[in-house]
């Protein structure tokens, strides 16, 4: 006796066999289409049930439904397995352990001159000075004339100058500023007292380099003008500055010096780091190291600015950042700062 259930158990068997061989999602879809799709083999059997006598319809229908559910479940299972395999393959080559520390990033640092400049400016800002800037290319007028250094004045020898022949006629009226002092004039031109500023900037000198001289350097100019400013203010401000930058225990000393734009002029010295005042090679056996020039603003400059010289007085100072960085870090040659040797720079 042939049983009507034969072809459908065959369908079940072959379906399960083929499903076992399916190895990607397009094969899987083709399989589903072939058995469970609208025109699939099993679907056709289920449709044919309607034509059968009641008895057969019952038993065959139950069996066909069981097979349908089994194939559907098997389909879902196979689909999940294929998806798992696919994900496993993709991530195989790129496994990521999120608990591992990342590769270290090399950290840069500020140039030692920038560090010292920022510290110096911060010290003055904390004492109430404002930071302003001026041009590196300057007129003879601001760099020299207005600072009481006329063309034939022997004091011009203090600054070896890089001139700019801007008209091409050899006339000397423009230059690379040799110091930041021209900013004293520039500020006074457009400001009324009280004035309390510091001006950082690059300066240039036409000179041969050696361990203590470079053709480019960084200066900070200071200027304070007000009713009744005295030499005591100058000494107090600069002594406080030296202690903030070099340490509380520093000794400072003022000594007469000459600069055409101040009267009197002076230099500030601190006791030598190396020998603590005994006298050594670094300090030229004097026990002292000069760190800046300063003085009381010349009354003629006050008057030229249009301020009342009977009422207003002021002090000015100029310091070299490279000099201070050398002293702070015990560097023996100023030229290291601009040689761009990373072995040197990475030490700061």
- Catalytic positions, written as ranges: 159, 179, 205, 219, 262, 316
Tokens 């991530």 belong to 91
> Considering the rule CB under 6 A, would residue 201 count as an interface residue with ligand DAH?
no
> Considering the rule CB under 6 A, would residue 204 count as an interface residue with ligand DAH?
no
Q: Is-contact 258 147, C-beta < 8 A?
A: no
> Considering the rule CB under 6 A, would residue 268 count as an interface residue with ligand DAH?
no
> Judging by DSSP bridges, how do beta strands 137-139 and 130-131 pair with one another?
unpaired
> Considering the rule CB under 6 A, would residue 214 count as an interface residue with ligand DAH?
no
Query: Residue 198 CB, nearest distance to ligand DAH (Å)?
Result: 11
Distance CA 267, CA 251 (A): 14
Task: Give DSSP secondary structure letters for 49-109.
Answer: GGGS-HHHHHHHHHHHHHHHHHHHHHHHHHHHHHHHHHHHHHHHTT---TTSPPPPPPP--
- Taking alpha carbons only, the member of 150, 159, 153 closest to residue 179 is 159
For ligand DAH, the closer of residues 78 and 161 by Cβ is 161
For ligand DAH, the closer of residues 241 and 259 by Cβ is 259
Applying the rule CB under 6 A, the residues between 219 and 258 that interact with ligand DAH are 221
Write out the two tokens for 235: 């000494």
Query: Residue 280 CB, nearest distance to ligand DAH (Å)?
Result: 25
Residue from 318, 324, 334, 337 touching ligand DAH (CB under 6 A): that is: 318
> Considering the rule CB under 6 A, would residue 322 count as an interface residue with ligand DAH?
no
Q: How many CA atoms lie within 13 A of 100 on its CB side?
A: 6
> Considering the rule CB under 6 A, would residue 146 count as an interface residue with ligand DAH?
no
Distance CA 304, CA 286 (A): 39
- Taking alpha carbons only, the member of 182, 214, 202, 200 closest to residue 119 is 200
> Considering the rule CB under 6 A, would residue 316 count as an interface residue with ligand DAH?
yes
Query: Residue 264 CB, nearest distance to ligand DAH (Å)?
Result: 10
Q: Rounded to 5 degrees, what angle do the CA atoms 148, 153, 154 make? A: 125
> Considering the rule CB under 6 A, would residue 41 count as an interface residue with ligand DAH?
no
Query: Residue 259 CB, nearest distance to ligand DAH (Å)?
Result: 4
Residue from 32, 177, 179, 323 touching ligand DAH (CB under 6 A): that is: 179
- Taking alpha carbons only, the member of 146, 143, 147, 148 closest to residue 172 is 143
> Considering the rule CB under 6 A, would residue 295 count as an interface residue with ligand DAH?
yes
Query: Residue 99 CB, nearest distance to ligand DAH (Å)?
Result: 58
> Considering the rule CB under 6 A, would residue 314 count as an interface residue with ligand DAH?
no
Dihedral sign for Cα 201, 202, 206, 207, please.
positive
> Considering the rule CB under 6 A, would residue 68 count as an interface residue with ligand DAH?
no
> Considering the rule CB under 6 A, would residue 293 count as an interface residue with ligand DAH?
yes
By the criterion CB under 6 A, which residues form the site for ligand DAH? Answer: 179, 181, 221, 259, 262, 265, 293-295, 316-318
């Amino acid at each position: 006796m042939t049983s009507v259930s034969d072809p459908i158990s065959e369908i079940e068997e072959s379906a399960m066999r083929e499903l076992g061989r399916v190895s990607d999602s397009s094969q899987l879809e083709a399989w589903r289409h072939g058995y469970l799709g609208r025109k699939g083999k099993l679907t056709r059997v289920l449709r044919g049930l309607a034509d059968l006598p009641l008895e057969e319809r019952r038993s065959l229908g139950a069996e066909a439904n069981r097979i349908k559910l089994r194939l559907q479940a098997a389909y879902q299972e196979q689909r999940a397995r294929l998806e798992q395999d696919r994900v496993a393959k993709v991530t195989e080559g790129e496994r990521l352990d999120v608990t591992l520390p990342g590769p270290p990033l090399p950290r840069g640092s500020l140039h030692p001159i920038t560090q010292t400049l920022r510290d110096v400016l911060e010290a003055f800002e904390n004492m109430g000075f404002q930071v302003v800037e001026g041009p590196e290319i300057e007129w003879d007028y601001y760099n020299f004339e207005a600072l009481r250094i006329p063309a034939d004045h022997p004091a011009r020898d203090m600054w070896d100058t890089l001139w700019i022949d801007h008209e091409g006629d050899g006339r000397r009226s423009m230059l690379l500023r040799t110091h930041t002092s021209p900013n004293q004039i520039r500020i006074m031109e457009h400001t009324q007292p009280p004035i309390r500023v510091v001006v950082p900037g690059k300066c240039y000198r036409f000179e041969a380099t050696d361990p203590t001289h470079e053709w480019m350097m960084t200066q900070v100019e200071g200027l304070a003008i007000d009713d009744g400013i005295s030499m005591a203010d100058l000494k107090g401000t600069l002594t406080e500055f030296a202690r903030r930058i070099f340490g509380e225990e520093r000794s400072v000393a003022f000594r007469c010096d000459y600069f055409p734009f101040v009267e009197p002029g002076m230099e500030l010295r601190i006791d030598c780091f190396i020998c603590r005042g005994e006298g050594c090679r670094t300090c030229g056996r004097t026990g002292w190291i000069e760190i800046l020039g300063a003085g009381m603003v010349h009354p003629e400059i006050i008057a030229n600015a249009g301020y009342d010289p009977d009422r207003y007085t002021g002090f000015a100072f100029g310091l070299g950042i490279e000099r201070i960085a050398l002293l702070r870090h015990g560097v023996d040659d100023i030229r290291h700062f601009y040689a761009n040797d990373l072995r040197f720079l990475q030490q700061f």
